[in-house]
Structure 1
Amino acid sequence: MSWSSMVWWIVLLCVLVIADPTWPSPNDELEEIMYQVKGYKATNFGGTVIPCSNEASGPGRQNAAEWLRAAFHDMATTTHLNGIRAGGLDGSLQYELTSSDNIGPGFNSTLKFMADYYTSRSSVADLIALGVYYAVRSCGGPVVPVAGGRVDALAAGPIGVPLPQNTAFTFEQQFSRMGFSKTEMIQVTACGHSIGGVHENEFPAIVPAGSTPNGEAPLDSTVAQFDNKIATEYIAGNTTNPLVVGPSVKATRNSDYKVFNYDGNVTIKALADAAEFSNICATVLQKLIDTVPDGVILSDPIKPYSVKPVDMQLKLNSDSSTMQLTGYIRVRTTEIGGDSVSSLTLNYKDRSGGNNCGNTTCTYTTTLLGSTQGFDDQFIWFPINTAIPTSTGISSFTITLNMVDGTTKLYDNNGNAYTMQDAIFIQKPQSCLLSGTLTVTAAVRNDRTLLPVNMLISYKTPTGDPNRPVPTLKSAATIMTNSTCIGSYTLYTATYTGLGDLAYASKIDVISGSDSSALVDGFNAASELEATCRSFQNPPTSTCNIV
C-alpha cells in the first residue's frame, strides 16, 4: 500500500470512528431518554434515582439500588447451555413479581415508574437496561454502554434467580447457565452490591426486625456511592455487609462471603483498585444488560448525536398556500462549549431536491432557546418555526452552526441530508382527544389521493392486576376517509374510541400508500392534542390543486 493510500485509510477510519448517528434511528426515543437528563426538554427518566441517595419510594429504599437489582433479577432467569440461550434481559420481570425470588416492593415500583416510558420504540427490557446506566451513573459509577433492540417477553422466565441460602457451588452453576464465569460471578456481585442494602422486611433472617433505623442494613459504608468499598472493607475485615457478617452467618445466608471467598478472594482483591473496579463494573454490567434471548439482535451502543432534529413536524396553514415546519435542533456542546454557537441556520431543499422555495429563501436562521444536561454531556436547543410554500414543498435539509468566532460548521447527516417528506402529515389543530375518543386529521398531498390512507395507533391498556404494573401495549389500524380538498392537499379523518384512561399515552402514525409506496408521519403523541378539534378555516378562494 502506498503512503498516500495509507493516509487515506487512516483519515477514513477516523471519520468512521467519530461519525454521528444517522437520523432518524430506531433508537431515537431511547437516545433522548438516555441523554436528556436535566434541564430544557429533559425526559425526567431519572426522577427517582437522582440523586443517588433518593428514597422516593420510602425510607431505606434507595431507588438507584432497586433499579440495578431489577436488571439482574430480570436477566437472571436465563439459561445459557450448549450454546443456546433462553431468556435474558427481556422484561420478563413484569410477570415474575409474585415469585418468592422477587419479594419486596422494589421491583414493582421500579416497573411502575418505567411503565410511563414504555412505547413501541422503547421496550420494557430496553428501559430496564437504561435503568442500569442511570443508577450507576447517578451514583458516581462508570458509564455502562447501552444498546437498543431488546424484545419483551410475553411470560415469566424459565427458571428462578440465585438466593442467599444457596451454596457457593450452586451460585457458580446458576451464573454459569446465565453465561457468566466464576470470576464474572464475583465481579458482578460486587458491582451490583456497591449501592443499597438488605431490607429487614424481606430478609429478617439476615437483618432482624427493628435492628436498623430505617429498615435497611447497608452493604458497605457508602450506601449512596458507586465505589469499591464493598471490596476494600471486605478485604480489610471491617465490613458490616449483612451478607458477609452478622446473623446471616449462622443462618448460612452470608451469600456475599460465599461468592467473594469462592476463589480464595483472588478476584475480590483485584477489585480493591478503584480504577480496576470501575472498568470491570462497566464491562460486566454491560454484559448483564446485553444478555438477551437468542434471535434478538442488539444495536451498537447508543451514542448522542452532535446535531439532532427533534419533533420536526409539518402543518398545513389556514391560507393553504403554506405549511409550517416546526420542531427543534438539539446541538451537543460537550466539547465545543455552550456559548460557542451564536445561531443556527436550516438550509432546505424543495420537494424535487432543488432550490425553488417560491417567494421565500430556502434558509431559516434561529437562536438559542434552552439547554439540557446529561450525566456527561451538555446540549443546547434551537427552535424551528418557518413557513414553506405548499407549491414547492420540502424534501430535506442540512444544518449550519454559526459560531461566535465567525466560523461555520455544516452538518449533513453523514452525507445523507436530513430527509423530510411532505406527502402526508398529521394536522394536530384539527385532531383531538377527549374521554378516550381519538379523532385524527391528516393532510395528504393531492398527487397521492388515489393511494390508501390509514391511521395506526399504539396504545396502552392497564392489566388490572396490581402485580402487573406494566400496561399491555396494543395497536389498531383504521382507514382514514377523505373530506375536504384545500389547495394542494386533501384532509383525511379517522376516529378511534375506547382508548380508556391511558389514551393520552397513545402514539399515532398516519400512512399514505402501502408496502413500497408507503410514506409515514409517525410516532405523534396523543398527549399533544387538544380536547376539541378545531375547524380548518379554508379561504373561500381556495382551489384543489395537483402539485
Structure 2
Amino acid sequence: MRSSFLQLSALAAVATAYHWPSPKFDALEALLYERSPEPAGPFLEAPSLVGLLNKCQPSSTGVSVAAQWIRFAYHDMATHNVDDGTGGLDASLYFERDRDENVGDGMTATVFELIDFPDKYVSKSDVEAVGVVLSVAECGGPTIPFRMGRIDATGPGPQGVPKPEQDIATHIESFRKQGFTQSEMISLVACGHTFGGVRSPDFPEIVPPPADGSELISNFDTTPKFDNLVVTQYLDSTTQNPLAVNSNKTVISDFRVFSSDKNVTMKRLAQPNVFAKTCQDLLERMINTVPKGVKLSEVIKPLPVKVGGVQLSVTQNAMRLKAMLRLATANPKRKITMFWQSRDGKSCTRTACSATFVGTNDTTTVLTRRAGMNPQKYWFDTPVNATLSASKFWFEVDEQNGKKPIVLDNEGTGYELQDRVLFDTRRTKSDFSEEIFSFVTTVVVAIRDDITPSRVYATAMWRKGDVKHQTFDLHLAEDIAPTAGYVFYKGDAVGSSDFSIDIFSVVNGKTFVEDNRRTEFLEFS
C-alpha cells in the first residue's frame, strides 16, 4: 500500500488532524452533513437528523419542528449563569420539563425526535446544538459553525427561563445572566421567533382555543422560513405575533423586549444582511454557552473522504465485509475498488482480495452544498475467505480521466479491522415477551475458534425514553453450529429492541471489543 493523498486535487485534502476511526467526530459529522437516501439505498441506514425537519415545512397541524428544536435548545441554555459559570447547553432540560417555564407538547416531541441520536460518544447536548444548526440552514438561514464536546448534566439546573408575563427588567436581568446584553436579548428573541408560533393547548392565555376545542397556532410572522419578517412586520405594525399584539397585555413579552431600547435594535435588524449575520453570531454563542470547564472542539467541517458502515461478519461457511466510502464529488464514470489484507498481514492477489461497489447514492444536504460539495456514498458488500480473514482494507479511485488511480488508505495505515469478536446481526433476534411485557433481544456474537475467552459480555445502551445501560454475559451457544472458523455466544438484553451495543471478549487478560453497534434493523423472531 502507499498513501497518495497529495493526488487528491479533485477531492481536496483531508485534514491532517483526522484519522479513522474517530467515532465521536464521525457521528457528529454525519449528523451535520449527511441525510438518509431517498428511497433507501443498497444498505439500510438509520434515519438522518436533518430528515426530521421535513425541509422546514410545517407539519399537517402547522407545527414547525425547526422552531421547536431552537426553543428546546434555548430553554436548555437559559439556565446559564455568567456570574459563577454554571449551567448552559448541557441537556439539563431533560430533567426540567415539568417546570411551568418549559410547558408545551413541543418539548416532549423534541425529546423523542432527538433521543435516537446520542450514544456513548455523542452527548444529548451536542445533538441539541446540531439540531439548531440544521434548523437554521434547512429554513434558509445562515450556516452556524458547530463545535463538539458538550457534556450532559446529571440533574436539573436552576430555574430562570424568561416567561411571557414577566416585566422587562426581569427579562434584561435574565438575559444578562445568560451572557447577553439588552440589544443582544432583543436580537436573540427576534432570531428565535423568525419561524414558529404559539399553540393554544400550551398557552391558552396567549392564544385562546377555538370554541370547538381544536388546536390553534398563532405564528410569529407570515412565513415558515428564516427571514426578518418578524422584525419588519413588527416595525410596520402589520404583525400578528401573539407576543407583540394581544388583548391580554400581560403576555406581550416580544413587544416589551423589542421596544425596550426605543426600537433602535429592531430598526437595525430590518436590514436582511444585518439580521442574518446577527442571528448567525448569537445563535452560535447560544449553542456554545456551556458550563465552565467544558472545552469545545474546533469547527467541524465536512470530510472530503470518509469511511463508515464497516462490518465484518460471519455467514454460512464464509465471512462478509461491508463498508461505505463517501467522496466529496460526483463522477458517474468513476471506478472504485476496495482491497483488503489477510489476517496474517500478507496482501492477497488483486483479484482474490478485492471488490467493487454494489451501490451508490447521493447524500448532498444544504450544508454540503454550501461547502461546494455534492457527496456520494459508495457501498461495498463482499465475501471474504474465512481462513484468510481480513485485517485492513483500502481503496483505489479511478476517475477515468487518464490519470493514475488515487489510493485512499487512511494516511498509510489502512482501515484496520479486528476479527476476534464479531456482532452477528443475522442471528441476533428480538421478540416481545408477554410474560415480562418487554422486548427480549437474544444477542449473538461470533468468536474465533482458535481463542478461548475467559469471559464474553456486552453493554447495551437504550435510546428511547430515558437512556440507560445494561451489562450482561454471553455464553457458548451450543444450539448454533460452528462455522467458518467461529463459534457462537449468546445472551439476552431486556428492554427496547433499538439500542447500541458494545461486545467484549476477554482473552488472557486482554479485552477485544466490537464497538458501538446499532440494532435498529434486527429481524424479529
Q: TM-score, normalised by structure 1?
A: 0.80
Q: Is the 8 A contact 1:33 1:43 kept in 2?
A: no
The corresponding residue for 1:523 is 516
What letter corresponds to residue 434 of structure 1 in structure 2? D
State the one-letter code of the partner of 2:197. G
Tell me, in whole angstroms, the C-alpha distance in 1 between the residues paired with 2:447 and 2:101: 53
SS of residue in 2 equivalent to 1:113: helix
Shift of 1:481: 4.0
Aligned equivalents of 1:359, 1:226: Cα separation in 2:
52
Q: Does 1:403 align with 2:403?
A: no
Aligned to 1:475: 470
Of 258-267 and 129-138, deviating more is 258-267
In the superposition, relative to structure 1, how do residues 387 and 178 fare at CA in structure 2: closer, same or farther (>3 Å)? same
| Inter-CA distance 202–450: structure 2 relative to 1 (3 Å threshold) | closer
- For 1:181-234, what per-residue CA distance to the aligned partner results, in whole angstroms no more than 9, with x for missing partners? 333322211110111123344444444444999622222232x01011222333
Instruction: Write the distance in 2 (CA, Å) between the matches of 1:341 and 1:181.
Output: 55
Partner of 1:73: 75
State the superposition RMSD in angstroms.
Answer: 3.3
CA 1:158/1:397 → structure 2, altered by over 3 Å: closer, same or farther? same
Contact 1:36 1:42 (8 Å CA) reproduced: no
**Paired position in structure 1 for 2:423:** 426
What are the superposed Cα offsets for residues 386-419 of structure 1, whole Å, 9 maximum, x if unpaired? 2333444322222222214344333233444322
Could you give the per-residue CA deviations for residues 280-322 of structure 1, whole angstroms, max 9, x where no partner exists?
Answer: 2122112212222334443333333323222211123433xx5
Letter in 2 for 1:422: D
CA contact (8 A) 2:105 2:202 kept: no
Match of 2:379 in 1: 383
Relative distance call for 1:48 and 1:428 in structure 2 (3 A) is closer
Contact 1:328 1:384 in 2 (8 A): yes
Instruction: Note closer, same or farther for the CA distance 1:200–1:432 as it changes in structure 2 (3 Å cut).
Output: closer
SS in 2 for 1:428: coil
Using a 3 Å threshold, how does the CA distance of structure 1 residues 44 and 96 change in structure 2: closer, same or farther? same
Counterpart in the other structure of 1:254? 252
Q: Which stretch shows the higher mean deviation, 14-23 or 183-192?
A: 14-23
Question: Are the aligned partners of 2:500 and 2:517 in contact in 1 as well (CA < 8 Å)?
Answer: yes
User: 2:456 matched to which residue of 1?
Assistant: 453
Report how many residues are paired.
496
Once residues 244 and 396 of structure 2 are traced to their aligned partners in structure 1, the CA distance between those partners, rounded to angstroms, is 58
Cα distance in structure 1, aligned partners of 2:429 and 2:390 = 26
- 1:447, CA displacement in angstroms? 5.2
**Structure 1 residues 96, 450: closer, same or farther in 2, change over 3 A?**
closer
2:364 to 367, 370, 373: 373
Change (3 A) 1:522 1:259: same
Is the CA contact (8 Å cut-off) linking 1:137 and 1:143 kept in structure 2? yes
Any unmatched runs of 5+ in structure 1? Answer: 1-10, 463-469, 533-547
Specify the alignment match of 1:535 in structure 2. Answer: none
- TM-fit CA distance, 1:92: 2.3
Per the alignment, residue 511 of structure 1 pairs with: 504
- SS of 1:69's equivalent in the other structure is helix
Task: Report % sequence identity.
Answer: 30
Task: Tell me the equivalent position of 1:325.
Answer: 321
Counterpart position of 1:95: 95
SS in 1 for 2:285: helix
Relative distance call for 1:218 and 1:433 in structure 2 (3 A) is closer
Equivalent position amino acid for 2:196 in 1: G
Per the TM alignment, residue 101 of structure 1 is displaced from its structure 2 partner at its CA by: 0.7
Partner of 1:541: none
Question: For the residues of structure 1 that align with 2:293 and 2:448, how far apart are their CA atoms?
Answer: 40
**Residue of structure 2 in register with 1:344 after alignment:** 336
- The answer as to whether partners of 1:331 and 1:380 remain within 8 angstroms in 2 is yes
Note the 1:130-279 alignment, pairs <5 A: 130-210=130-210, 215-222=216-223, 224-248=224-248, 250-251=249-250, 253-279=251-277
Q: Per-residue deviation at 1:236? A: 3.8
Task: Tell which deviates more after alignment, 187-196 or 433-442.
Answer: 433-442
Shift of 1:479: 4.7
CA contact (8 A) 1:77 1:160 kept: yes
In structure 2, distance between residues paired with 1:341 and 1:520: 39
* 1:441 maps onto 2:437 in alignment: no
Is the alpha carbon distance of 1:100 and 1:275 closer, same or farther for their aligned partners in structure 2, counting shifts above 3 Å?
same
> Counterparts of 2:349 and 2:337 in 1: how far apart (Å)?
19
Q: Which one is further off, 169-178 or 480-489?
A: 480-489
CA–CA distance in structure 2, aligned partners of residues 317 and 209 of structure 1: 59
Deviation at 1:381, TM superposition (A): 2.5
CA distance in 1, matches of 2:236, 2:19: 46
Distance 2:202 2:315 in 1: 60
Q: Which amino acid is 1:315 matched to?
A: S
Distance 2:412 2:182 in 1: 47
CA distance in structure 1 between the aligned counterparts of 2:180 and 2:364, rounded to whole angstroms = 35
TM-score (norm 2): 0.83
Structure 2 gaps of 5+ residues are 1-8, 369-373, 433-438
Letter in 1 for 2:363: T
Residues 515/89 of structure 1: CA separation in 2 closer, same or farther (3 Å cut) = farther
Q: Which amino acid aligns with 1:382?
A: Y
- Pair 1:215–1:440, CA change in 2 (3 A): closer
- State whether residues 431 and 440 of structure 1, in contact with CA within 8 Å, keep that contact through their aligned partners in structure 2: yes
Give yes or no for contact 1:20–1:306 (8 Å, CA) kept in 2. no
Matching of residue 363 in structure 1 with residue 354 in structure 2: yes
d(CA) in 1 for partners of 2:67, 2:421? 46
Distance change >3 Å, CA 216–CA 317, structure 1 → 2: closer
2:105 matches 1:113:
no
Query: Aligned partners of 1:21 and 1:272: how far apart in 2?
Result: 45
SS of structure 2 residue aligned to 1:513: strand
Q: Per the alignment, in what secondary structure is the counterpart of residue 256 of structure 2?
A: helix
Q: Distance in 2 between matches of 1:133 and 1:211?
A: 38
